[in-house]
Structure 1
């Protein structure tokens, strides 16, 4: 009997332990599933917050585009043209969207007052005037609209002021030139000269100028339509694949790059020197550079390339800082006014270079063939965040059409 009682006790204890384990496993699984569901919900919320930032950025770009058109066509345009004001920088770069900014503006009370510009209070015995500022405008509606979990942030960048790697796809490496270099070789020289500027010299410590030329050549070969290594002067040197012999190496695509990230697959492109200059390169656009928003080094590179086309013009001293400043400032000054004009910028540069007289003639095509003043291609980085969950969207828009619904999306990535 005692043995039977002992066995029964052991069976009861075992059953309780087994039941406890089942319950614990059930609770654990339920908790895990709940956390997964919460994370998925927050990720979905964060995604739509990022999409909201995208839509707001589109609205801001549209308003900016309309304002610039109205200013350029208004009676005050002639007065603005006489002022040293550059209106080229996009509004979305100057005023990026975020929930912190919007909430601070609509719900945070009055905007901060700069020192020395305090507003006097109401006179003694008088009632203070009702606040009619934007921060008090329909504050209840604003609070209701902004009463959602999470935050979003939107940043934009005009891609037009950058050097386009995809230019190589549209030109023929074997094209014969009547004089000088063909467009393919000229563009390789342009990029190499850009990288060899004094500003970037520390990035290439221990790297010879010949290695820089090779890296640029490899980028051109990666994008162009043929599958051979193209040297300057219509010379070829074996197959492109011969540079990528490791099993894990990607092979040249001989097509346009979809994003700038792909450039890191090219032989000779090292993050240590490319990352600091990557913001001055792009893979979007129509191969003309918006000099009104471009970095000085990009503008200087275009000037050097343009001057090199004129056989009657002495070679420019690339390392002369005074000459560089004079010519770059000439181009930048042409960007002032209600609406920058390509032909005016080109004419001003010709005058600064002494081009236009019968003794020197004019350059082939003119500087106007290198540049634009239009803002058309925008890269947008949007972020949505709910608690610790964050979703990023990277997209590139072509805003040539006047209707935002018809703007082309050239690239879209969620990560």
Structure 2
């Protein structure tokens, strides 16, 4: 009996050992499989991110190529006087007229639509079967030749997609313009405003007029600092002196007093902004109003505004500020909607005429001045003060872009990498274009 009992106990112990071993091995196997799977996906995502980053960089270089040929295009337009044939489109950079997107190329030449790896196959099939409205019911590939399709297939024989978007910084309001100006009343300037408002105050007025647009009123409803003081603080942050500069050249004490009362004290820079996000350090600038309007501001350029590329609201603000603050301008009723429409239309029509470069600036100025003087005898007889005012407006605007922001995107599977860069295209060769800003995110 004792032998049988001992044998049963030994069998129970053996069973427990076997079950324990199986449990440990199973847990270890599951843990190993889990860790292997995690490491695989991490490595795969890292590989996809690396591929996507190179695609984004490739898109950036394609953007540089478009900017290079944009310079050639504009030279041809100006030399051959082709602007009248192209109209308003002559003012758009090539990277805006012909946006580069491999997804779009796949849709046109291969019918792929730029679908990622994670796209639904059924949706892809349905999209391919739907007729295109623009081609009269024919699929995209049918509008291209076989040779074009083969060339596109060879070019697009890589995993992922990329695209490039560009923005001309001269279409925006320059916050660094105050660093180059003197904050004194009646200071002489390239705008010829020595007998009236200074160029420093003129740019403050334009920026204030933009922020005070009725559609932006809700953005400042909780702000303790009104737009006019915010603009003053932005100008004081970048100008060379250390005083709070009011309109007309008067001062209101040391500008450092605005920042010493904060728990986190820092000095006023008194020079140009290095990045656009640095503006958040200025007293009165907060995320609620600045972030939605951020795309309207720049820190690059000389402060001249590309009048043919900005929106109508900003054109109206520039007209209003210029007419109200510049001596020698013929009196007009800006409150009259018909008058303002006439002035804006004169600029838009001149921009659509198709000139380029300095010729376009001169044409826009003449058209605007003609619209101002339509009810005045000075339309054909401009005195010295009016001539100075006309030259003032001419020096306020530009028709040539020099600084461009390029935002390139690379995508592989679900991984997206973007590159934001700012380049100065003053020189003729892209090899000599300085890179002013570079961010990968």
Larger deviation, residues 309-318 vs 347-356: 309-318
Paired residues for 1:359-398 under 5 Å: 361-363=386-388, 365-398=391-424
Distance in 1, Cα, partners of 2:87 & 2:29? 76
Tell me the SS of whatever aligns to 1:236. strand
- In the TM superposition, what whole-angstrom CA distance separates every residue of 1:118-174 from its partner, at most 9, and x where no partner exists? 99xxxxxxxxxxx99754324334223312222222211212121100111222335
Deviation at 1:263, TM superposition (A): 2.8
| Corresponding residue pairs, total | 399
Could you say which residue in structure 2 is the equivalent of 1:150? 160
1:70 is aligned to 2:76: yes
Could you say which residue in structure 2 is the equivalent of 1:128? none
Q: Is the 8 A contact 1:222 1:253 kept in 2?
A: yes
Could you say which residue in structure 1 is the equivalent of 2:91? 88
Alignment equivalent of 2:363, drawn from 337, 344, 350: 344
1:405 is aligned to 2:431: yes
- In the TM superposition, what whole-angstrom CA distance separates every residue of 1:355-381 from its partner, at most 9, and x where no partner exists? 652385423552121111102222122
Deviation at 1:269, TM superposition (A): 2.7
Structure with more helix by fraction: 2
Distance in 1, Cα, partners of 2:301 & 2:14? 82
- Structure 1, unpaired ranges of 5+: 120-130
Distance in 1, Cα, partners of 2:102 & 2:215? 37
Deviation at 1:320, TM superposition (A): 3.4
1:113–1:414 distance in 2 versus 1, CA, 3 Å: same
Could you say which residue in structure 2 is the equivalent of 1:358? 383
Paired residues for 1:249-268 under 5 Å: 252-268=268-284
Deviation at 1:37, TM superposition (A): 0.6
Tell me the SS of whatever aligns to 2:42. helix
1:80–1:9 distance in 2 versus 1, CA, 3 Å: closer
Give the TM-score of the pair, scaled to structure 1. Answer: 0.82
- Structure 2, unpaired ranges of 5+: 1-5, 113-127, 188-193
1:216 is aligned to 2:231: yes
Distance in 1, Cα, partners of 2:336 & 2:274? 37
Q: Is the 8 A contact 1:162 1:298 kept in 2?
A: no
Alignment equivalent of 1:35, drawn from 41, 57, 81: 41
1:163 is aligned to 2:169: no
- In the TM superposition, what whole-angstrom CA distance separates every residue of 1:161-208 from its partner, at most 9, and x where no partner exists? 211001112223357636444332332122112222455456555779
Q: Is the 8 A contact 2:179 2:238 kept in 1?
A: yes
Alignment equivalent of 1:285, drawn from 298, 301, 306: 301
Distance in 2, Cα, partners of 1:386 & 1:307? 53
Distance in 2, Cα, partners of 1:165 & 1:80? 32
Deviation at 1:401, TM superposition (A): 1.8
The alignment's C-alpha RMSD in Å is: 3.4
Deviation at 1:330, TM superposition (A): 1.7
- In the TM superposition, what whole-angstrom CA distance separates every residue of 1:209-254 from its partner, at most 9, and x where no partner exists? x811111112222333344433332303233353464445776433
